[in-house]
């Protein structure tokens, strides 16, 4: 161990040739990663593929038409962040500069381009656009 080199933080410097083969990760082709591949049934698979077969049709929705306070907070926070990162504003801002107040105005006018996905206990989900929900 005397011939190994260490950096200032105490980590050992390694070239690509020095890495043992068992420490190298096996490269997985992109189609196997997203399609499930040979190990699609393994619990260790970290990629979740959402297919549209679990989506509830609009006529069969079972959740409430009211936007919850948690959804409202998440939508306003997300939209305010987008506005602060120079996303296009969907309403007339009339000199307003606060992103949260602009997001609130967009929500009042139902102009926020966000879809809320509500997950159900049976692993299905419902997608609701802002203009479909009742906001109080």
pLDDT band at 7 (very low <50, low <70, confident <90, very high): low
pLDDT band at 57 (very low <50, low <70, confident <90, very high): confident
More confident residue, 25 or 80: 80
Radius of gyration of the chain (CA): 24
State the average pLDDT over residues 62-91. Answer: 97
More confident residue, 97 or 57: 97
More confident residue, 64 or 40: 64
**What is the rounded (10 degree) CA torsion for 116, 76, 80, 125?**
-10
State the average pLDDT over residues 95-122. Answer: 95
Angle made by CA atoms 115, 116, 122, in degrees to the nearest 5: 130
**Residues paired with 127 in a beta bridge:** 117
> Which pLDDT score, from 0 to 100, does residue 17 have?
52
Domains and CATH numbers, the chain: 52-132 (3.90.940.10)
């Amino acid at each position: 161990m005397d011939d190994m080199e260490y950096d200032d933080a105490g980590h050992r410097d390694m070239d690509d040739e020095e890495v043992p083969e068992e420490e190298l990760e096996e490269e997985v082709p992109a189609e196997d990663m997203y399609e499930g591949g040979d190990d699609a049934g393994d619990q260790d698979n970290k990629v979740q593929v959402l297919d549209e077969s679990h989506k509830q049709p609009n006529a069969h929705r079972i959740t409430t038409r009211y936007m919850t306070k948690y959804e409202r907070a998440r939508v306003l926070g997300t939209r305010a962040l987008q506005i602060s990162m120079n996303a296009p504003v969907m309403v007339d801002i009339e000199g307003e500069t606060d992103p949260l107040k602009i997001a609130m105005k967009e929500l009042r006018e139902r102009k926020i381009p966000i879809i809320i996905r509500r997950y159900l206990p049976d692993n299905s989900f419902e997608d609701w656009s802002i203009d479909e929900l009742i906001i109080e």
